[in-house]
Each structure stands twice: as C-alpha cells, then as structure tokens.
Structure 1
Amino acid sequence: MTALTRSSLKTQPITCEKLDIAKEYLDQHCPLDQGSHLHATHYVVYYNHLMAFFADGSHCGLKFPKQFVALCGHRDDPTAILLKKDDQLHIELSFNRCGDSGRLDRANVDDIQVETPLSTVSTGAEHKKFWMSFLSGVQDTTHHKQYTAKDGNDYSL
C-alpha cells in the first residue's frame, strides 16, 4: 500500500464524520419535508423546488420550499445549491462526484459552507465574504459568487 493510499484511508472517516455533522446542521436549519439530508442520494431542481431523492426511490422537498434560492449547473445535476436560512444567511452545498469528499458521499456532496454573520468586510473598494466550511474551516472570498436563481435570473453574493 502506498503512502498516499494509507493517508487517504486515514482521512476518509474524518471527512465522512464532518459531512454527517454538516448534514445534521442542514436538518436543523433547512429541514426536508420527510427524512434527513443524511440519507439523500441525489438533489435536483424540479421547476422552482429543490427535491432530495433517497436510495429506496422516494423523494421529498424542503419543509420550507422558500429556503431554496439558487443553483449552479444543470437543474438535473447541480454543481451547487444555495439555501437561505431564517436569519437570511446562506448555506451552499457543492457537489463533485470526483472530489475528495464527494466521491465518498452517497449524494456526492463535496462541501457544505455557511455564510457567517459577519460575512461582509469592506477594505476600501473590496468586499470580502467569509464562509465557514464544515470540512476545511473558515474561508474568505474576494470575489462575488454567481448563481442562477430558481426563477432563472442571476443571483449574486
């Protein structure tokens, strides 16, 4: 066994544990109508609604459908889903079936990031948004994130 393989085996349980914690957070702040994000195998956007599918073939939407606000990629296979919590802060689920985390997750979730309450910091003409990644910790972005709103318009953060 190579060092790379041994190293990746050590990080797999940690990654899975962090994703489970992130999905429990989703269950608390953006719950599904039935079931749990822990058991979702795929997410799609059907018309203007986010749908979660499960291994047994069942599916459901969000308990509060208005929490789904935008996506990146195709509605049948999004690369990112953007949700808005009751406090008006966002949660981004990113998907990548080839990613370090996404290849281990049944729904191919590669990361879940939460917009922090002190998310916008101005430094002259530049605005920074701070996001907390459940997998890698706090990250800052100096550029705006672009999405497609559920009505088809642009959605920028």
Structure 2
Amino acid sequence: MPEFTTSLIPTTGKNVAIVVPDDIVYGFGRGKRVPVTVQVDGEYTFRNSIASMGGQFLIGFNAQTRAETKKDAGDEITVKVELDEEPRTVEIPEPLAVLLSAEPVLLEAWNNLSYSKQRGHVDPINAARGEDTRARRVEKVIRTLRSQ
C-alpha cells in the first residue's frame, strides 16, 4: 500500500483535496481515474477515486472527512492508498426504491447511472430533514430519470 505525506490543499469554494504523486497513480496501472481506499494518519479510512484535475491527481476530502479527521486545508497528513476493487453500490432510500420498482424503465435508467451519479442523487435525499423536502428530492430524481 503506497504511503506518502502531504498537505491538504484548498480547491474550489470550500473544497479540500489530497494531491497524489504521479508515480503512485501510474503505479496502479489503471489510467488517470483510480478507485481507492484512503487511510489518513493511520486512523480514518474512506473510499474515493483519484481524479485528474488541473494537471494534478487529487482525492477529494469532503466535509464529513474533514470533520472526522479534524483536518483542513494546509494541514499535513500521512496518506496510504490502496486500489479499491470492491463493487461500489448505493443503498437506495425506500421512497425512491418504491417508485423505481414500479416502473422498469426508470429502474433501468437508474441502474445505468454510474456509482457517483447515483450517490449524487441519493445523498441529498438522505440529508433531507423533513419528509416534504425528501419527497421533493425523490420527485426530482424521478423527473431527471424520465428526461434521459
């Protein structure tokens, strides 16, 4: 498992990322987008992908990860990365699952989405505090799938 020390860098807005050395990325032999398991300071592990952005290879370090590690832009961390070959699946919230199962065309459209696209739809549904907000977000996903 490759290990390196780096400082977290600010990207756009409030976003923060880990810069991954080129030799580590190319060492995986998987191109420029590599699914990985990331371990920070030997304590916190999360799944993400290395992506090429602005001439660098980056791993996003989201708000949840920053909160869990108590690390932010400018902080130095020790990183271990390992190729993640486990299937990436998204747990579909029940209200969305019911609607998808009722319409095979929508379910097929959902199944054709990438893991990250599915997560992009599910995370806001799961983050909704109220049922009305959750319902609106589910309907938005259904409208999006119908328009594809």
Q: Select the structure that is richer in strand.
A: 1
Q: When the two structures are superposed, what TM-score results if normalisation uses the length of structure 1?
A: 0.26
**Structure with the larger helix share:** 2
Q: What is the TM-score normalised by the length of structure 2?
A: 0.27
